[in-house]
Every structure is written in structure tokens, then in C-alpha cells.
Amino acid sequence: MLRITVAQLNWMVGDVAGNVAKMVAAARDAVAARADLVVFSELSLTGYYPGDLLDEPDFLARVAQGLADLQQASREFPDLHWIVGAPLAHDGVGKRLQNTLVVLKDGAIVLRYAKQLLPTYNIFDETRHFAPGPDVARVLRVGGHQVGLMICEDGWNDAGDDYAVNPFSRLADAAPDLVVSINASPSDIGKRETRHQVFGAACRRHGFPLLYVNQVGGQDTIVFDGASFAVDASGAICHEAQRFVEDVTTLAFEEGRFTTGTGMPLAPVAPAGLSTMAFYRAQIVLGLRDYARRCGFAKAVIGSSGGIDSALTMALAVDALGADNVVGITMPSVWSSAGSVDDSVTLCRNLGVALVTHPIADTVAAFARQFEAAFGQPLKGLPLENLQARVRGTTLMEYSNAFGHLLLTTGNKSEISVGYCTLYGDTNGGLGLIGDLYKTEVFELARHVNEAAGRELIPQAIMAKEPSAELAPDQRDTDSLPPYPVLDEILKLLIEGGRLAPAELAQATAFVAALRATSEGEALVARVRGLIARNEYKRRQAPPIIRVRSRAFGSGRQMPIAAKVA
């Protein structure tokens, strides 16, 4: 029997010493469970992805020291094999590093395997730093078992669609009893099911079982959900680790079958994961919690407008940080409705959040007077509207600077897409929680939050309110934009397109095709396309946003600012 400890852990990028400490603790757990092998995820020594830290000599020196510390620690458990991910030197032609899997045992590196397939799509850019490994299979013998090894992307090309090399086929030639894949697979909606499908099909085709070890935690804009899993030779998922939390579990493997570490049958794995809204909530909450912790923030501040976006942002922040660590600021202007302030009061009371009132009417009036005195014309129209947003943004940043709170921006994907936001105003902040949710999804997630709580955390008055920036008399979002159910379908097709889930793609395609059947609809689609392109400069200067969908703004969508798009 082969016992394997799956160490699904939350690494911090750059904290080599801290990551080593986590590995040593997990190794002790593995020994206590009588494991033969402990498996950590891709680039576990540095965290994924270290980016241009890899160009820093001091950082690489820390990596070398960390690996040496792990080798020394492995002497404490001489019978245990450690599978670790690390960036190591490449001696051949090309980039000077490789994304490497090393096996440690009793103080020695007994095997080394370099990742062959280096992704350069969506949020990935591994060829920036790494040279690909050779087209060879590496197999580790542990007791009487042959364990084949691979790293993340190496397992995603069994259909042969993306690369000329297929590491799965090469491993099949080596006839392992079991394959272990170490991964840093970021999460988005539907990703869990896609992993199961891709790796299940490969195991079924080649006839061997596989253990998929992922990391967990938020890193800048991306979140890793964990959800490590085991697949049997028929392609069935027979074990799954917890999602969105660290999980160190020991499995047993014998005669082609996985069991618990004590040899008992494994609990069945449900094919369906979390609902879409439960997934969004878990992903955003973990993303904020880790972002704040790693950037040194204990508290957050949010501008509370009385609208749905700020309300949902506040509810998610409370989930992540606790009500005592969240502050709301309401900043009424001359155009703010009484309901905006009242609804903010009710929201914060429901959530247990402190609310501060900071009127801005006098400040805006002073700016307007000084503008007219200096430039000889009154401040009116769009500049006056944007001034109100910028005064609010400045006030929030003043609070952040004075009290050390992380400012959370509240823009959603629909508004960010078409530039319905004010640069240096409501785009101010350190992190956006809902910037990858379309407006229709914001309402849906808000309803989910209330349903999960079993009570009205987000007031119905906010849920039922017609969206408005309240920067002009009787202003409504629909004065400038088509209704959000229409806009969102257009945006999904133009921004995500073929990356959408099949059902979403079919719906958006049919919806936009029907629009384009009329001249007015064709003009609307063209207008939205132009707005997306024209506002790239705003997105380039906006705060990072937590990614939940297949294509989010930021590194996953790299578009030029100065370009002709049609």
C-alpha cells in the first residue's frame, strides 16, 4: 500500500521561509499518518506566480536557501518522499529558469522534472521567465509503485489541440501505476468541472489513475480554490479535497484504487459543485481576505451610496473581514435622495457596520466657485457630475490614508466595460470586489446573500431601486445606457465570447443575433463595442479586481488603448 499526503495549502508569493514552514508542518502530519509521500503544489516554494521577482538575484538566493532548508528538514523524516514545486536554474539554451518539480528524500534531490508546456494565454505568461522542459517522462519508484509526474499545463493537452507535445502520451509509454500532477490552477466559474472533465478523459484514455494537487488562496486578482482530486483509471472522480480552505489529507493507493489513509472507502464526490452565486461569494470573500492580509490591511472602508453595488460590496467585505473591521461612509450631495442616506443607514445597521456621514455639497460648491473664478465659465453638465464623484473619491482616500483602511471600489463589470464610472472618483481604491460581475449578476448575488442569511441583510429598498449615479437631477443609468439585461448580453459576447459556458454562449449569441436583425439593434451593438474600446484607458488606471469569470479585465484581457477597433 502506498500512502500519499495531499498538502493543499495557501502559499504567499515571495514568502519562501513561510512557505517552507508550511511544508515542514505538513510533512510532520504526513509522517503521523504513516505516509510514504507528501505532495505540494506547483511552485509551492515561491507561491504562484512570482512574476518578475524571478529576475531579482536576492529572490533567487532566497529560493536556493529555501530549497536547502527543505533538504535539511527532510533528513528528519528519512523514509518520506517530498514532491515540491520550485523555480530552478536551467543550464541549456533559452531562459535561465525552469518551472520544476523536485523530489526530496533524506536530504537529497532524488528526481527533477521540468514543466514542458508553458501557458501564455489569459492570465498566464510563463515563457517570460521559464524554458520548457525536455519531452521526457519522469517516474518515481516508491516502494513497489511507479509514480509518474507532471506539472499543471502538461496535463491539459491530451486532445492535442494546443501544443505539439503531449506529456500524457509520453507518461503512458512509461506505464506508471499512478500519476501525480502538481498544479496552480486558478479558479473561475465552471473551472472545477472542466478539470474533472479534462483529466477524467485522459485517465480513461490511457488507463491509469491520477492525483491532482492544487493550491488554495487569493493572490492579487486571482483566487485558487483548492479542490484537489483523485481520478481512477476509468476516469471517475473518486476523491475531492475541500474548496477555498487549506486541506491536508492522506490517501492510500493499492492495486489501482484510492482509499482513505486507513484503507476505508472514500466518500462519493458530487458531480455538481457550488451554485454559481455560492461560488462567486466564496471566491470573492477568500480573495479579499488574502489580499487584505498580505497587503497589511486589517480594515476596509466603502463609500455607501445607498445603491446595490456598494451594498453588495459591503456585505462581502463583512463576510471576509468581520463587521467590526468595515466602515461605510455616506456622502450626500445636493442631488442625493433622502432614500440614499436612509438606505445606507438601514444597510449598515443590518450588517453591524459603522456608518459615517460626510456631506459634500459645500465642498462641491467651493470647487465650482473657484473653477468659474479661474476659468471664466460656470462648471456644469458632465464636469460638475464628475466633480461630485471625485470629491467622494478624495474623501474616501483621505479616510484610508488617515486611518489605514483598505478602500474597496464598488464598480461592476457592466459599468467598467463601457466607462460608466469616473476616473479618480468612484474608480479610486485598492481592490474591486465585484468588478468581474455583470450588473444583473450583482442583483442575483445580493439576493443570494439575503437568502443564505435567512434575513434581509441588503434592504429590499436597495434591491428594488432603479440604478442611478445621483450626480444630476432625476438621473438614471438608463439615461446613458441600455437596460442592464440587454447590455449584459451584448457585453458577454463581446468581452468573453467563446470563453463563456456553453449555455451562456448560446443565450448571448441568440440575443445579440436578434438585436442585429434590426438597424437599431445593430447600431446599439456597434455603440457598445465602441464604448468598450474607448474606455480602455480608464480600466488601465483602475484598481485590480477579483477574477471570477473566464475573462476578466486586467492581465487576462490585454488590449491596446490607442487602436482602431472597427
Whether residue 324 contacts residue 424, with contact meaning beta carbons closer than 8 Å, is answered with no
Q: Which amino acid appears at position 26 of this protein? A: A
Closest residue by Cα to residue 329 from 312, 341, 320: 341
Burial 399-427 (b: 16+ CB within 10 A, else e): bbeeeebbbbbbbbbbbbbbbbbbbebbb
DSSP label at residue 494: I
CB within 8 A of 454, min separation 6: which ones?
Answer: none
Q: How far is Cα 245 from Cα 363, in angstroms, rounded to an integer?
A: 46
Give me the residues paired with residue 330 across strands: 357
DSSP letter (8 states) at residue 449: H
| 143: region left, alpha or beta (phi > 0 left; psi from -120 to 50 alpha) | left
Could you tell me the CA-to-CA distances from 62 to 14, 69, 295, 538 in Å, in that order? 9, 10, 20, 37
DSSP 370-433: HHHHHHSS---SHHHHHHHHHHHHHHHHHHHHHH-PEEEE---HHHHHHT-S-TTTTT-SSEES
Residue 102: strand, helix, or coil: strand
Question: Of 40, 183, 26, 29, nearest to 115 (Cα)?
Answer: 183
CA triple 77-83-89, angle to 5 deg: 115
- How far is the C-alpha of 407 from the C-alpha of 157, rounded, in Å? 41
List 182's β-bridge partners, or say none.
151, 213
Distance CA 80, CA 74 (A): 7
Residues labelled catalytic: 42, 115, 152
Locate cell 474616501: which residue?
A: 396
CA–CA distance, 6 with 167 (Å, rounded to integer): 22
Backbone angles phi, psi at 88, to 5 degrees: -125, 160
Report which residue type is found at 314: M
CB contact set of 164 (below 8 Å; sequence gap of 6+): none
d(CA 249, CA 183): 16
* Residue appearing with cell numbers 496552480: 184
Q: How many contiguous H segments (helices) and E segments (strands) does the chain have?
A: 16, 20
Amino acid at 216: V
Q: Tell me how far apart the 2 most distant CA atoms of the chain are, in Å.
A: 87
Helix (H), strand (E) at residue 368: helix 361-375
- Residue pair 213/248 in contact by the 8 Å Cβ criterion: no
